A = this chain, B = another copy of it.
Amino acid sequence: MPGFFNVQPPDEALQTLLGQLDYRVGPEYVPASAALGRVLRDDVSATEDLPTFARSTMDGYSVRSADTFGATEGMPAFMEVVGAVPMGTAPTVSLSPGEAATAFTGGMLAGNADAVVMVENTQVVGDSSIEILRPVAPGENVAQPGEDVSAGDAILLSGHVVRPQDIGGLLALGMTKIRVARRPRVAIVSTGDELVPPGETPGPGRIRDINSYTISALVEHAGGVPERFGLIRDDLALQQEAAQKGLAESDMLIFSAGSSVSSRDLTAEVIGSLGSPGILTHGISFKPGKPTIVALVDGKPVFGLPGNPVSAAVVFDMLIRPAIYWIAGCAEPPSLPTVTAILASDIPSLSGRQDVVQVRLERKGDNLMAEPVFGGSGLIFTLVQADGAIMVPLDRGGMYAGEQVLVRLY
């Protein structure tokens, strides 16, 4: 099965896959406090009003607002302080006309009070009396019940990726357990006669397997659980066995091909033999990453990644990261960090193909400069030296020094 067929731009390849990808990992319950980065599997609505009580937003005095009308510094309203409502307690005092009670930020108001006067707008004039120097409107300096959120309000939707503040919102409502997607299990099969495990010293013509480890780290970073299913030599039966096992025991299979064309052809043959509908895209019109395979087997996504490490990392970002989030139930993965910079040198490109070019960032005076790091896509240190990458669009014959570029940061 040599050569490429059904070559697509990366966006189209992703849409082709997602359009047919109904598979979702199952749900599980986790403590909300440990849910950072997990994908919600329920729409969540508020179960109660927050705050649950009218809460002072200032330190000062709770009052009947009508008693303060017309108060000025020149003609303050005189009030008797009949008590206090300490933090975390219900009021034991109730106000009659002309009375006030000490209030704390976050605390309750005295009975009959409907507003709070900031301490800065008062003056102590005796053991238990104050002057109020500015009027307050009803509700002033008070957070009303339900002002933060009302019972029944939709607060988070299924598919949302939980952030620190969401944990706060959930716990504020007493939701200590939530239903999220199980972390997608991603099987990684590394292939190629030239590979040895990284702990070994390679013999002549051999290199250490690094792709299965960089891919594992990328999977982890995308919220998945990487599982390595071996380092398999270029043998059809052995590779089929590893692929079938990996696919059966996981939610997604990533097949990392060897670097030779024959190894890539073998990868295509193995993936093509796994089941239906099989290969959707074989060949992606961008550099580096052309020899990528996207397939769907028994409902699960299968990827054949080019053997060279730069391509593998770039293709991962474009296709596999979104697919991991997708099967967890999230259609919009969290954004990756970017920065705007000025291109330091020209980049030649081929029109009709997207290029991803690695760059190093350097601050020169007020400008952040992006210097392209060229180098064969088989060279891992091209990526190690890079601070990020820029995309040369499909319809551009290249890019010129001085242009503003968006750098996807590593």
Contact = CB atoms under 8 A, between A and B. Distances in A.
Interface string A357-399: 0000000000000000001101111111010000000000000
Nearest to A177: B199
A334 interface: yes
A149 B149 CA distance: 57
A214 interface: yes
A126 interface: no
* Max chain B Cβ within 10 angstroms of own Cβ: one of A262, A334, A380, A386: A380
A289 to B, nearest CB: 15
A409 B169 CA distance: 18
A171 B339 CA distance: 29
Contacts of A80: none
Contact of A164 (B51, B214, B261): B214
Interface in A21-53: 32-33, 36, 50-53
A205 B380 contact: no
A309 B165 contact: yes
Given A148-B380, A194-B106, A195-B88, A164 B59 contact: no
A322 to B, nearest CB: 15
A239 to B, nearest CB: 14
A151 to B, nearest CB: 13
Number of copies: 2
Nearest to A165: B383
Contact of A383 (B55, B108, B168): B168
B234 A87 contact: yes
A194 B335 contact: no
Contacts of A262: 59, 87, 104
Which size class do A's interface residues fall under? Answer: 35 or more
Nearest to A339: B335
A338 interface: yes
A380 B217 contact: no
A166 interface: yes
Interface string A199-210: 111111111111
A381 B149 contact: yes
A205 B168 contact: no
Interface in A290-337: 307, 309, 313, 334-337
Contacts of A163: 217, 410
A216 interface: yes
Contact of A52 (B156, B202, B382): B202
B171 A261 contact: no
A211 interface: yes
Contacts of A148: 375, 378-382
12 contacts: A33-B217, A52-B202, A59-B260, A59-B261, A87-B234, A88-B194, A106-B207, A168-B384, A172-B207, A174-B198, A174-B200, A340-B340
Interface pairs A-B: 4 shortest CB-CB = A106-B259, A90-B204, A104-B260, A164-B217
